Structure 1
Amino acid sequence: MTDDEVLAEFRASHALLEGHFKLSSGRHSAHYLQCARVLMNAERAGKLARALCQKIPREIRSQVEKVVSPAMGGVIIGHEMGRTLEVDAVFLERPSGTFELRRGFDVKEGEKVLLVEDVVTTGLSSGEAIKAVRKAGGEVLAAAALVDRSAGEADFDVPFFALVEINFPTYAPGEVPPELAAIPLEKPGSRKG
């Protein structure tokens, strides 16, 4: 899929929002990608997962034994990536602030893992998820996301692949431009606060 085709899928599902948003990273933006909306259609989610899978080199794809995603945003795309790669997909949760495997999910010692997210902005959540997988004994081969909006700033010690790069400006809380600050703030993500 081309970048324009990917963005068309976001627009068709009303997943590309405009306003004043506080992102899960704490930064502010005039644009928000509601990946849950683009992924609510199973056919579309599968198509996007297959396209993302094609961005990952075959030598990495062929080694993946399990897909792990951070909840909530990564759950659907992680599941679809597991289906595409024909491996199990599990997710991490933050019941007390740090990622952990729950619900009987596990990662075996040395198991080769692909970490899958919906959107990467700062890379902080993905980095924390990678640490949790390693703590559980897994070997993270690569990270992947539907959308990289980090402007190349996300830095993992594993290869990172994104279906599309979108670089809408984001602002630290004290740096929000007046025209954006005048718009009521929304927090549409899964983490409130």
Structure 2
Amino acid sequence: MTEEEVLAEFRACHALLEGHFKLSSGRHSAHYLQCARVLMNAERAGRLARALVQKIPRELRTQIDKVVSPAMGGLIIGHEMGRTLEVDAMFVERPSGTFEFRRGFALKEGEKVLMCEDVVTTGLSGREAIEAINAAGGEVIAACALVDRSAGEVDMGVPFFPLVEINFPTYAPGEMPEELAALPVEKPGSRKA
């Protein structure tokens, strides 16, 4: 899928929002990609997952034993990636502030894991998920995301494969343009900042 085809999927379901958004990373943006909306249709989610799998080199794809995603944002795309790769998908969550496996999810020592996110801005959630996966005995061999909005600057510590790079500007709280700062702030993400 091209970048324009991916954006068309977001536009078709009103998942590309404009306004003033405080992202899970703590940064601010005039654009927000609501992946939950783009993934609410199972056919669309499957199409996006199949396209994302194709971004991962074959030699890595064939090694993946499990897909693990950070909750909440990565749940649906992680599940669809597991389906596409024909491996189990599970997630880590933050019941007390740090990612951990719950609900009976566990990894065998040395299992090869693909960490899957919806949107990456700074990579913090992904890196924290990778730490939890490694601590649980897994070996993260690659990371992926539907959208990389880091302008290609994110470092996940493993090979990283986004479906598309979308470089809407983001701003630290003290760096926002006046016109953005003047708008009311929405906080649609899943992490408390």
Is TM > 0.5 for Structure 1 vs Structure 2? yes
d(CA) in 2 for partners of 1:142, 1:119: 15
- Which digits, 9 at most, give the CA deviation of each residue in 1:125-146, with x for residues without a partner? 1011111100000010100000
Deviation at 1:186, TM superposition (A): 0.3
Deviation at 1:176, TM superposition (A): 1.1
RMSD: 0.6
- Which digits, 9 at most, give the CA deviation of each residue in 1:59-115, with x for residues without a partner? 000000000000000000000000000000000000011000000001110000000
Using the size of structure 2 for normalisation, the TM-score is 0.99
- Indicate the residue corresponding to 1:132 in structure 2: 132
Unaligned runs of 5+ in 1: none
Equivalent residues, number: 193
d(CA) in 1 for partners of 2:191, 2:99: 13
- Indicate the residue corresponding to 1:168 in structure 2: 168
Unaligned runs of 5+ in 2: none
d(CA) in 1 for partners of 2:133, 2:18: 34
Q: Residue 186 of structure 1: SS of its match in structure 2?
A: coil
- Indicate the residue corresponding to 1:115 in structure 2: 115
- Which digits, 9 at most, give the CA deviation of each residue in 1:149-169, with x for residues without a partner? 011111022100000000000
Structure 2 residue identity aligned to 1:150: S
Deviation at 1:191, TM superposition (A): 2.2
Using the size of structure 1 for normalisation, the TM-score is 0.99
Superposed, 1:64-103 pairs within 5 Å as 64-103=64-103
Structure 2 residue identity aligned to 1:168: F
Runs of 4+ in structure 1 over 4 Å off? none
Structure 1 residue identity aligned to 2:44: R
- Indicate the residue corresponding to 2:143 in structure 1: 143
d(CA) in 1 for partners of 2:170, 2:181: 12
d(CA) in 2 for partners of 1:12, 1:192: 28
